[in-house]
Amino acid sequence: MSTIRKFQVTFDCAEPERLARFWCDVLGYVLSPPPAGFATWDDYHRSRAPEDRGAWSACVDPSGAGPRLFFQRVPEGKAVKNRVHLDVRVGTGLVGEERLAALEAECARLVPLGAVRVRLLYDGHDSCIAMRDIEGNEFCID
């Protein structure tokens, strides 16, 4: 049986490019280059039918280590809690107050980008902060 070495995470959303840019800011990712055969994204969009323009966007880890994030426009809005979510790992190896301080600093960085703080989960040793992105998708600062 072969081993899967690469994967992408796909988000259903209302505004693919806007959400892709948000996650670029959160993770230090960059927007994917335009599809083959197109010099710019504007060129690509002009080649599409009006209803298909801006239907998707993607961002990638410039180091190549992290997964590609793909954002596709869907007609329905978000209705329920995500069954899968991203954990933004900023406190790895830290515990207690030191970990909490790292998580709070990252939360303070993300809120001005449009993220919403939902709640802090802290037991005196381990902690994470539940958040929502600009379209309401849950994620955690961990």
- Is position 81 within any domain? no
* Residues near 67 by beta carbon (within 8 Å), at least 6 away in sequence: 6, 7, 8, 9, 61
95 plus 60 within the same structural domain: no
pLDDT at 83: 87
**39: Cα separation from own chain's centroid:** 25
Number of domains in the chain: 2
The model's pLDDT over 21-52, given as tens digits with 9 standing for 90+, comes to 999 999 999 999 999 999 988 899 889 999 89
Whether the full predicted model's pTM is greater than 0.85, yes or no, is yes
- Is position 3 within any domain? no
- Does the CA dihedral 14-15-20-26 come out positive or negative? negative
92 plus 44 within the same structural domain: no
The residue from 16, 42, 73 where one domain ends is 73
100 plus 127 within the same structural domain: yes
For residue 134, give the nearest of 33, 11, 42 by alpha carbon: 11
* Domain hosting residue 26, numbered range: 8-73
- Per-residue confidence in pLDDT tens, the chain, 142 aa: 677 778 899 999 999 999 999 999 999 999 999 999 999 888 998 899 998 989 999 999 999 999 999 999 999 988 888 889 999 999 999 999 999 999 999 999 999 999 999 999 988 778 999 999 999 999 999 9
52 plus 93 within the same structural domain: no
- Is position 79 within any domain? no
The residue from 73, 96, 123 where one domain ends is 73
Which CATH number goes with the domain that contains 68?
3.30.720
pLDDT at 1: 67
